[in-house]
Amino acid sequence: MRRKIPTTAALVAFESAARHESFTKAADELSLTQSAICRQIAALEEFLGVELFRRSRRGVKLTEAGLNYSRRVAARLDAVERDTLAVMGQQGGGTLELAVVPTFATQWLLPRLKDFKRLHPEVTVNLTNRTRPFLFADTEFDAALYFGDGVWSGTVANFLMHENPVPVCSPELLGGRTELSAAEIAGLPLMQQTTRPYAWRQWFGSLGMSVAHDMGGTRYELFSMLAQAAMHGMGVALIPPMLIQQELADGRLIVPMQHAYLSENAYYLMIPERKVESVTLGAFRDWLVDEAAQYRAEAGLG
């Protein structure tokens, strides 16, 4: 049965015209004439039976239907482009599409990936930020680097490491001091990590303390944002040292109290059950699990 799909040329012309809200700019971008763009849009509107643009002497403007359709078309074209680039980039080797929590991937994984590339030069590893769980069936991801309890329906969890967060702040915030007590830390602005809302409560609790405002304060989604805010003197943050090694070495961040607690959750490599037999993914899993074990041993982590 023939699919009810417009031509690719019409969709590309529409996406460009919708993004610019200009047929002229779309024509320039696609190296076409303005009349060619007009014809493609008109043909698409006839195919759909829906008006996508309102025309006036001052130009064109998307209708509500046109705006909604343009968002969907743009997402589909982006996906087709990614798939095309992936195939073009394989060059006879395998490609792994990984969803990753951004700061851990940037600060811990990326510096080590060159070793995996040396061992498996035929494998391309692509990384895409995802901070929360998702349905693998709805994506093209082969696996995910995930922080949580390791429970994810339809997947196999491979433990990597726990977090051992410590309080960090800018040296300027302490006014020349280098150490603080837990009570003094409680008196400073406590900055929060959005996906770890109980972090300060757990940290103070591990010291037998109860702090009324331990869940208050500014919230940031990423550890990299927390680190930047802390370096600018906006408060104290709880961050695993492995994610801010350079900032600690440079003295841009200091640890005012050397006390960490073992987080209940951990970093895992989550692999869909249907992909556990993949040779390429298995090679990456074995390498990553070994790297994590070596790091835990060297850092004395649980």
Q: Say how far residue 239 (Cα) sits from the centre of its chain.
A: 18
Share of residues in the chain with pLDDT > 90 (%): 76
Indicate whether 92 pLDDT > 50.
Answer: no
The closest alpha carbon to 128, from 116, 114, 142, 138, belongs to: 142
In the chain, beta strands by DSSP E: 53-56, 59-62, 94-100, 123-129, 143-148, 155-162, 166-168, 192-193, 219-220, 237-239, 266-272
> Any idea which of 78-87, 128-137, 171-180 has the lowest mean pLDDT?
78-87
The closest alpha carbon to 152, from 270, 276, 263, belongs to: 270
Mean pLDDT (whole number) for 53-69: 92
Output the pLDDT for position 1. Answer: 58
CA distances (Å), 108 to each of 45, 270, 291, in order? 49, 17, 10
Output the pLDDT for position 86. Answer: 63
- The confidence band for 236, taking pLDDT boundaries of 50, 70 and 90, is very high
Mean pLDDT (whole number) for 226-236: 96
Cβ atoms of 20 and 28 within 8 Å: the answer is no
144-168 pLDDT, tens digit each = 999 999 998 899 999 999 988 999 9
Indicate whether 89 pLDDT > 80.
Answer: no
Cβ atoms of 41 and 17 within 8 Å: the answer is yes
Q: Give pTM, 2 decimals.
A: 0.68
- The confidence band for 140, taking pLDDT boundaries of 50, 70 and 90, is confident
- The confidence band for 139, taking pLDDT boundaries of 50, 70 and 90, is confident
Share of residues in the chain with pLDDT > 70 (%): 96
CB atoms within 10 A of CB 138: 7
